[in-house]
Structure 1
């Protein structure tokens, strides 16, 4: 029985891995073509390639549920097409046993994906965004496309790029008075965090008054602010690119401040429940192979898997904003599609017995 477990498990694992590589490869090629439009003297072909390479862990993490669905269909479908599943059933192997054989490699990939999304992808995504911003805006202190806006009191802040070591590049501070008139602007090439304050370098400060404008330059300047590198990291990254601990901490911070935190709560629950989502999709794939797609062709199985995956992803994308509009807890938006998959898969398996 162990040899049979290994055989079925390896077949499913290899199919999921192959599908994952193909999907991520196509997505990376499409992203490279799109990013190639931004190639310039400073943002070269090599830097575009590096950017795409650094975003690969995040792409792998994003497509694992989809690959689990289609890969399981292909792996078990191959066994069904060669009548190996029929032989196993004739030898006394129950459907429940076969389901567990196919589920184990999918859960293994789910665990690997969780580790990838928690410990690798957030760092590589941040590094990728930093390198792209620096390459596209060399020596500039202001750019609006890839940078980060923030506000502290009457001062509006913009940063071009943020490094993980507590270094920001291209700082712009715009200070306004109570009547929303600009009273000063400050631009610096970069700033380094020194524990409880920042040290800005190559600073140009301009002050405005009703009768004159003065401009001063400094090699370095101390900047006292409550903004920390950790806070900037949380704000510059998309919610689904953050670690679980960061999502939980920042959503709690927003709640305590009376601010909207549903986006971060939704991303938190999606990450927590991703292994369950993979399990639900794989169960649907298994139920299709033992049910309506037992005699189907490989092309039709792939088509069916794509349709199920699109419906699952679309339902997630619709329920997420719906939770923000109608005010129901974000955990429901992440959990409902998974429960539907689990119930649907179990119903089909029950009919196949």
Structure 2
């Protein structure tokens, strides 16, 4: 009975904070999109649709800080109303109260995984396609949608994607084993075929023939791409919007070819570590209310919690960048901030109980 009451209070507070933060970030995104209104056929309605379609991605990003603030608000409200003191007076241990706040994380994580796998990627793709179509590709040509991929000393760059995901402005660089340049192929556009063949149109091909670099101009050229159309649709998304299973497949594919996959691996582990991050946020919130903040009042506990949430986000970002820079283990980089936070919360609990 008591656990259910605490659980409902935590869920209400989380929903309130998550909705407020998502709305705030969406408003900021709308302000940014207003700079493009009037270009091509891009209107205010198009900007609103873009913001709404990308809102699930923002919800996923703010979930850790929303969990921290929601837990602080829920437990702080119970403390202000002396309900926590009454629960403790009835002999209900602190771990049961904290467990009641942790329990809703199970459905929340399930919802987040569903969003990350099935909702955010197609919504992001629709948002990008609609924006590019309304802008008549004027902004896409500036490099917003530039795409790079590489395999077996072959590098592919696509300047932008036209309607229907047609690659436009294609450059293909081929290198020998010693690093010397073999050829450069530039094509105005390409038609993607299901068998992996690309029909390049309006082609300029430069070949290194040792003593000289020759240039050929061809109306058509067949090229066997190392990126399938399905992978192309996924990899053209922002890294944070790529679904977890697609990230896993891409990491496996690059590992089998002994090619670097650090960015995809770190993003995959960032998604895998999300349950631990949310649990760490609840634990640190509870430690402020029951431990360090017990003698300081709910208001000061909330302020400390907000400060810690900002510090945690910055620390997580720094760990991620250091992991990429120093080529550290992706799992270790993703899980370390949450592990340190859980350790800190347990330390605060023990300090308060002495």
Q: TM-score, normalised by structure 2?
A: 0.83
Counterpart contact for 1:140–1:170, Cα < 8 Å: no
> Shift in Å at residue 124 of structure 1?
1.4
Does 239-248 or 224-233 show the bigger shift? 224-233
Does 248-257 or 30-39 show the bigger shift? 248-257
> Shift in Å at residue 222 of structure 1?
6.9
> Shift in Å at residue 270 of structure 1?
1.2
> What's the counterpart of residue 51 of structure 1?
50
Asked whether 1:118 is paired with 2:117, we answer yes
SS at match of 1:160: strand
1:59-208 matches, within 5 Å, as 59-138=58-137, 143-150=142-149, 157-158=157-158, 160-161=160-161, 167-174=164-171, 185-188=186-189, 191-198=191-198, 204=202
Distance 1:212 1:276 in 2: 56
> What's the counterpart of residue 26 of structure 1?
24
> Shift in Å at residue 277 of structure 1?
0.7
> Shift in Å at residue 18 of structure 1?
0.3
For residues 202-247 of structure 1, give each alpha carbon's deviation from its aligned partner in whole angstroms, at most 9, with x where no partner exists: x55568999999786x9xx976534312232343223332222211
Distance 1:351 1:208 in 2: 70
| Unaligned runs of at least 5 residues, structure 1 | none
Does 271-280 or 145-154 show the bigger shift? 145-154
Distance 2:237 2:64 in 1: 22
> Shift in Å at residue 331 of structure 1?
1.2
Distance 1:182 1:224 in 2: 15
> What's the counterpart of residue 10 of structure 2?
12
> Shift in Å at residue 116 of structure 1?
1.7
> Shift in Å at residue 307 of structure 1?
1.3
> What's the counterpart of residue 245 of structure 2?
245
Distance 2:275 2:245 in 1: 17
> Shift in Å at residue 295 of structure 1?
5.5
> What's the counterpart of residue 36 of structure 2?
38
Does 245-254 or 142-151 show the bigger shift? 142-151
SS at match of 2:260: coil
Distance 2:184 2:10 in 1: 65
SS at match of 1:172: strand
Does 36-45 or 129-138 show the bigger shift? 129-138
Distance 2:191 2:29 in 1: 31
> What's the counterpart of residue 313 of structure 1?
313
For residues 149-190 of structure 1, give each alpha carbon's deviation from its aligned partner in whole angstroms, at most 9, with x where no partner exists: 456877854252378xxx4235223468999799875324x7
Distance 1:11 1:136 in 2: 45
Counterpart contact for 1:323–1:333, Cα < 8 Å: yes
Counterpart contact for 2:105–2:279, Cα < 8 Å: yes
For residues 248-306 of structure 1, give each alpha carbon's deviation from its aligned partner in whole angstroms, at most 9, with x where no partner exists: 22122223333321211111111111001100111110111112323656553443222
Distance 1:289 1:211 in 2: 73
Residues 144, 81 of structure 1: CA spacing in aligned structure 2 closer, same or farther, 3 A cutoff? same
For residues 25-49 of structure 1, give each alpha carbon's deviation from its aligned partner in whole angstroms, at most 9, with x where no partner exists: 1111011101211122322211111
| Unaligned runs of at least 5 residues, structure 2 | 208-212
Distance 1:70 1:239 in 2: 27
> What's the counterpart of residue 334 of structure 2?
334
Q: TM-score, normalised by structure 1?
A: 0.83
Distance 1:239 1:141 in 2: 18
* CA root-mean-square deviation: 3.3
Distance 2:215 2:261 in 1: 43
For residues 305-324 of structure 1, give each alpha carbon's deviation from its aligned partner in whole angstroms, at most 9, with x where no partner exists: 22111111111111122223
SS at match of 1:42: coil
Asked whether 1:268 is paired with 2:268, we answer yes
Residues 215, 139 of structure 1: CA spacing in aligned structure 2 closer, same or farther, 3 A cutoff? farther
Counterpart contact for 1:42–1:138, Cα < 8 Å: no
> Shift in Å at residue 137 of structure 1?
3.2
Does 113-122 or 224-233 show the bigger shift? 224-233
Distance 1:255 1:177 in 2: 21
